[in-house]
Chain A
Amino acid sequence: MAGWRMPRVLAVMMLGAATHSWSGQAHAQEPPTDNCLSCHSVLDDERLSAPAKAFPADIHAVRGLGCSACHGGDPAAGFDGMDPAKGFLGRPGRRRSVDLCGRCHSDAAFMRQYNPSLRVDQVAEYVTSVHGRRLVELGDTAVAVCTNCHPAHAITPPTDPASSVNPLNVANTCGTCHSQADYMQPYGLATDQQEKYLRSVHWEAMSVRRDLSAPTCNDCHGNHGAAPPGISWVGNVCGQCHSVMADYFAQSRHASTFAMLGVPGCATCHNNHEIQWAGDTLLGLGEGAVCGRCHAAGDGGGETARAMRTLVDSLRTAFDSAHAKLLKAERAGMEVSQPLFELGGANNALITARASVHSFEVLNVKEPVDEGLAITATAQSRGEEALGELRFRRAGLVISVTIILALILGLLLKIRDIERAKSTT
Chain B
Amino acid sequence: MVENRPAPETSRRRFIDWLLSRTLTTWLLSTSVGGLLLAILYPAGRYLVPPQAVESTSASVTVPFTPEDLEPNTGEIFRFGSRAGILVRTPTGELRAFSAACTHLGCIVQYRPDVGHIWCACHNGHFDLNGRNIQGPPPAPLETYAVNVRGDQIVVSKGS
A binding-site residues for B, Cβ under 8 Å: 205, 209, 211, 213-214, 241-245, 327, 330-333, 336-338, 340-341, 344-345, 347-348, 351-352, 355, 394, 397-398, 401, 404-405, 408, 412
Contact = CB atoms under 8 A, between A and B. Distances in A.
A397 B40 CA distance: 10
A241 B137 contact: yes
A333 B106 CA distance: 24
Given A241-B137, A337-B81, A408 B48 contact: no
A209 B101 CA distance: 18
B139 A205 contact: yes
A209 B47 contact: no
Interface stretch (B8-16, B118-126, B143-151, B152-160): B118-126
Nearest to A393: B47
B44 A397 contact: yes
Given A401-B44, A405-B40, 10 more contacts: A211-B139, A242-B123, A348-B108, A351-B105, A351-B106, A351-B122, A397-B44, A401-B40, A404-B40, A412-B33
Contacts of B82: 330, 336-338, 340-341
Given A241-B136, A242-B137, A341-B83, A351 B54 contact: no
B79 interface: yes
Nearest to B83: A341
22 contacts: A211-B140, A241-B136, A242-B123, A243-B123, A243-B124, A327-B54, A331-B50, A331-B51, A331-B52, A336-B82, A337-B81, A341-B79, A341-B82, A341-B83, A341-B84, A344-B83, A348-B122, A351-B105, A352-B121, A355-B122, A397-B48, A405-B37
B108 to A, nearest CB: 5
Contacts of B54: 327, 330-331
Interface in B7-64: 33, 36-37, 40-41, 44, 47-48, 50-54, 56
A243 B122 CA distance: 10
Contact of B123 (A330, A355, A398, A408): A355
A243 B107 CA distance: 16
A176 to B, nearest CB: 27
A408 B36 CA distance: 9
Contact of B106 (A336, A340, A347): A347
Contacts of B124: 243-244
A355 B47 CA distance: 42
Contacts of B50: 331-333
Q: How large is the interface on B (under 10, 10 to 19, 20 to 34, 35 or more residues)?
A: 20 to 34
A338 B139 contact: no
Q: Is the interface of B mostly helix, strand, loop or mixed?
A: loop
Contacts of A211: 139-140
A265 B12 CA distance: 100
Nearest to A347: B106
B43 to A, nearest CB: 9
B138 to A, nearest CB: 9
Contact of A243 (B40, B41, B105, B136): B136
B21 to A, nearest CB: 15
Contacts of A404: 40
Contact of B107 (A214, A351, A405): A351
Contacts of B83: 340-341, 344
A405 B123 CA distance: 59
Given A241-B136, A331-B53, A404-B40, A338 B79 contact: yes
Contacts of A348: 107-108, 121-122
Contacts of B47: 333, 394, 397
B38 to A, nearest CB: 12
Contacts of A213: 133, 139
Contacts of A243: 123-124, 136
Given A345-B108, A408-B36, A214 B139 contact: yes
A241 B122 CA distance: 12
Nearest to B52: A331
B107 A347 contact: yes
A397 B53 CA distance: 22
6 closest A-B pairs by CB: A340-B82, A211-B139, A337-B82, A351-B122, A243-B124, A341-B79
A404 B47 CA distance: 17
A211 to B, nearest CB: 4
Contacts of B52: 331
Nearest to A412: B33
Nearest to B46: A333
Contacts of A331: 50-54
A209 B108 contact: no
A245 B108 CA distance: 18
A243 B33 CA distance: 69
Contacts of A340: 82-83
Contacts of A401: 40-41, 44
